[in-house]
Amino acid sequence: MIKEVNIQDLRVGMYVEKLGISWFNHPFARNKFRITKESEIEQIKECGIVTLKINTKKAVDVAPLEEKNDQEDEIFAVEKVEKQDDISWTEQEPVPLKEEMERCVEIYQENLPLIHKLVDDVKKGGKIDSRSVNDSVDQLVESVFRNRYAAVTLSKLKTYDEYTFTHSINVSIFALALGRQLNLSREQLKVLGAGAMLHDIGKASIPEDILNKPGPLTEAEFRIMKTHPNLGTRHLKSVENVQKEILQCILNHHEKINGTGYPQKLKSAAIGDFAKMISIADSFDAITSTRVYQKGTLAHNALKIIFSLRGEHFYPPFVERFIQVVGIYPVGTVVKLNTNEIGIVTTINPSNLLHPDITLITDEKGEKTDATRYIRLCEEYKKIPQLRRKIINVIPKERIKDLAPDTQDLVSNFYQSFS
């Protein structure tokens, strides 16, 4: 049986049926092969592949949903991510999550036409309206000071069809949330937000048949795609009084700290901090978004991929802070517990990432709960460690249809209530 799997689900012993990229773009002698060692999985990750196809008749299959995942602490090195002594997690955000998310919906809807106009202006050879960009970023900066989690949560709960345009807003949102986590000033965040919003503006000059190609790019097409940082930088230089840091964000957001990125193959010390932050935000949104050539993966799985590439593609301290603000189990994640109960993550706990707050939607028998049961896993962990509930699996959206109809309705209602 041919099955599409996410990169983080690859195991030694699986048979790769289709990598989904050109033979010129991967290091293997064949396009079809059995994975015999962990280093081959790392090589596949290096190719930037998010999903690929395996043949389960020829080798092992993906672990079933019910299999417990007791390696979560090791995968994320949670104790390292949580230990940040300079931030107090006892402070409440000034504005409640749901209240600020309602404002974020309005901000999002106001900013989509702006992104459309920016892209259209570049395509027509016009200049970017920097004042509009600054006004838009100001709104997002103020939002992240009211509640650093609101826009991040909204961006992954609400589905928008226009990836090309929503990507710019999402990357700005994620970068600003990371910057807020790093205690950047408002002025610094405004520069970071503008650089993030404009990071892909050079793609407006890339032919549409390459941008929206449903299959993998050829080597020649990929060379053209890799010119977008230079094209964007060149275009922004014509904008009066544009900050040098914004130009660096656009030029360097595809650089990797091990020197394998583009366009200049810069190493860590030569890459600006803002570009390093945008690189993480850009990758996270790209991996989790569905596009013409790729099905988006769970935020939980995307974070595993990014965490596995820290020290190679991404600056480790920024990855750790990014996970703090997004959460190992982001809000809206449907999870299965060791008790056989199913719940939805409603609040993350940055100082206890493996134990978020959840709303239970089924009991131990898999039946719909009679009343809403709000559980603080971190409190259970402290009080009765030997009897505590814990998350053993994340249930992907495509597997929610396997749940009972009443349970599916509860999941759907939750998403609607937050978005």
Domain range list for the chain: 2-63, 94-296, 334-418
> What pLDDT, on the 0 to 100 scale, is given for residue 388?
75
Higher-scoring residue by pLDDT: 206, 8: 206
Q: Where are the beta strands (DSSP E) in 278-417?
A: 334-337, 342-347, 357-362, 368-376, 391-394
Higher-scoring residue by pLDDT: 52, 180: 180
Percent residues over pLDDT 90 in the chain: 35
CB 360 within 8 A of CB 380: no
Q: Is the pLDDT of residue 89 over 50?
A: no
86/321 Cα distance (integer angstroms)? 12
**One fold for 2-63 and 94-296:** no
Structure-block tokens of residue 381: 């962990």
Confidence of residue 77 (pLDDT cuts 50, 70, 90): low
Q: Is the pLDDT of residue 153 over 60?
A: yes
Rounded to an integer, the average pLDDT of 198-220 is 89
Q: Is the pLDDT of residue 224 over 60?
A: yes
> What pLDDT, on the 0 to 100 scale, is given for residue 87?
43
| Helix axes 163-181 and 150-157, enclosed angle (nearest 10) | 150
pTM: 0.79
**Burial letters 107-144, b for 16+ CB under 10 A, else e:** bbeebeebbeebbebbeeeeebebeebeebbebbbebb
Confidence of residue 75 (pLDDT cuts 50, 70, 90): low
Higher-scoring residue by pLDDT: 412, 318: 318
> What pLDDT, on the 0 to 100 scale, is given for residue 2?
84
- From 174-178, 229-233, 394-398, the region with the lowest mean pLDDT: 394-398
Q: Is the pLDDT of residue 240 over 50?
A: yes
Other CB atoms within 10 Å distance of the CB of residue 285: 25
> What pLDDT, on the 0 to 100 scale, is given for residue 24?
56
354/395 Cα distance (integer angstroms)? 16
CB 275 within 8 A of CB 269: no
Q: Is the pLDDT of residue 322 over 60?
A: yes
Q: What is the CATH number of domain 2-63?
A: 3.90.105
The one-letter amino acid code at 409 reads: D
Percent residues over pLDDT 70 in the chain: 83
- 252-290 per-position pLDDT tens digit: 999 999 999 999 999 999 999 999 999 999 999 988 887
- From 27-41, 226-240, 318-332, 335-349, the region with the lowest mean pLDDT: 27-41
Residues forming beta bridges with residue 55, ordered by sequence position: 2
Rounded to an integer, the average pLDDT of 121-148 is 92
Q: What angle do CA 162, 163, 165 make, to 5 degrees?
A: 75
Computed over every residue of the chain, the mean pLDDT equals 82
Residue position matching structure tokens 């970068």: 175
Upstream peptide bond of 263 is cis (omega within 30 degrees of 0): yes
Q: Is the pLDDT of residue 86 over 70?
A: no
302/6 Cα distance (integer angstroms)? 9
- From 12-16, 87-91, 221-225, 398-402, the region with the lowest mean pLDDT: 87-91
In 3-state terms, what secondary structure has residue 34?
Answer: strand
- 2-20 per-position pLDDT tens digit: 888 777 677 778 888 888 7
85/15 Cα distance (integer angstroms)? 45
Rounded to an integer, the average pLDDT of 334-343 is 88
333/92 Cα distance (integer angstroms)? 22
Q: Beta 334-337 vs 33-34: how paired, if at all? A: unpaired
Rounded to an integer, the average pLDDT of 172-188 is 95
> Quick one: 94-296 is in which CATH superfamily?
Hypothetical protein af1432 (1.10.3210.10)
Confidence of residue 225 (pLDDT cuts 50, 70, 90): very high
